[in-house]
Amino acid sequence: MNIKENIAKAEQEFPRLFANFEERIYGVLFYNTNIKDHHDSNHAILYTDKINDLQKVLTDIRDFYKSIDITPTIYHPSIENYFIENVHILKTNGYKFMTALDSRIMVVQNSDVKPLSDILDIRQITDIKMIEDGSFFIEKDIYLEEIYRKCINKENSYLFVGYYENKPVSLLSFHVTKYDCTRFDEMKTAKDYMGKGFAREMNKYAVNFCIEKNLPVPYQWPAHGTSERITSEAGFKVLFSLPFGYAVYAIEEHYKN
């Protein structure tokens, strides 16, 4: 596979790092009943080349998630326009879908070490006790706590926290995938400390770490323009885009139409 195919696979499979899952011939069903409304932990992915009867697949997905009281949700596969091309069967089976502008995938394009300003004391977090007692980050976040509790001790999973005046104010996590690339998973700064350049510092530090450890192809997709600028300053450049969207089982709306 080429780099686009590898990253598309990594984007599809990344919840294996922290979510529970069940395998199907047609895809994977991710779930975590502790955080039922966390989308990345609770959704299905599709292996479109292995689907012969999409209606049966949609029914199986619906039945599985309904059985554990989670809203059935399917993430858009890497095939362009898949939901649009299957709009009729999705709608007749009670699913509505949303698609957005494609996700711009940014990849580190060189091996230059980025200079740091040393405004943060950046530490790697490896002690699960820090996750359990909430001391890894200054803001309460039940989703991140649940995710990091599950993956903190997994090989090739990394969590770094930036301390300012001895307070944990910013974090960044990434993991090495089995598809020869390194996915930047989360970048977050406490609200009271935004606008101080902490995210830029964390990004540069993480890129330097990947370069020094010779980790494979670091990449991420920025959530908005500010994130893209910060990512660019750390040496990432837009390389390509992938489809983005999801289909949700919404039978009530279905019956109204």
Q: Where are the domains of the chain?
A: 3-100+243-256, 110-234
Would you state the pLDDT for residue 252? 53
Task: Check if the beta carbon of residue 205 is closer than 8 Å to that of residue 122.
Answer: yes
Give CA–CA dist 218/230, Å, rounded.
Answer: 15
Would you state the pLDDT for residue 253? 47
110-234 and 3-100+243-256 share a CATH fold = yes
pLDDT in tens, the chain (257 residues): 699 999 999 999 999 999 999 999 999 999 999 999 999 999 999 999 999 999 999 999 999 999 999 999 999 999 989 999 999 999 999 999 988 766 889 999 877 777 889 899 999 999 999 999 989 999 999 999 999 999 998 999 999 999 999 999 999 999 999 999 999 999 999 999 999 999 999 999 999 999 999 999 999 998 777 888 889 999 999 999 999 999 999 865 443 44
Would you state the pLDDT for residue 111? 77
Contacts of residue 66, defined as CB under 8 A and 6 or more positions apart, other chains included, come to: 72, 249
Q: Which residue has the tokens 């976040």?
A: 141
Would you state the pLDDT for residue 47? 97
Estimate to the nearest angstrom the gap between the alpha carbon of 145 and the chain centroid. Answer: 15
Q: What secondary structure, in 3-state letters, does 186-232 show?
A: EEEECHHHCCCCHHHHHHHHHHHHHHHCCCCCEEECCCCHHHHHHHH
Per DSSP (E only), the strands in 100-166 are 103-108, 121-124, 157-164
> Which structure tokens are listed for 47?
């292996």
Would you state the pLDDT for residue 255? 39
Please measure the distance between the N-terminal and C-terminal CA atoms of the chain and give it in whole angstroms: 43
CATH topology for the 110-234 domain? Aminopeptidase (3.40.630)
User: What SS3 class is residue 236?
Assistant: strand
Would you state the pLDDT for residue 256? 40
> Which structure tokens are listed for 197?
């350049």
Q: Rounded to the nearest 10 degrees, what angle do helices 198-212 and 225-233 cross at?
A: 50
Task: Check if the beta carbon of residue 242 is closer than 8 Å to that of residue 8.
Answer: yes
Would you state the pLDDT for residue 101? 62
Residue type, 138: I
Q: Which CATH class is domain 3-100+243-256?
A: alpha beta
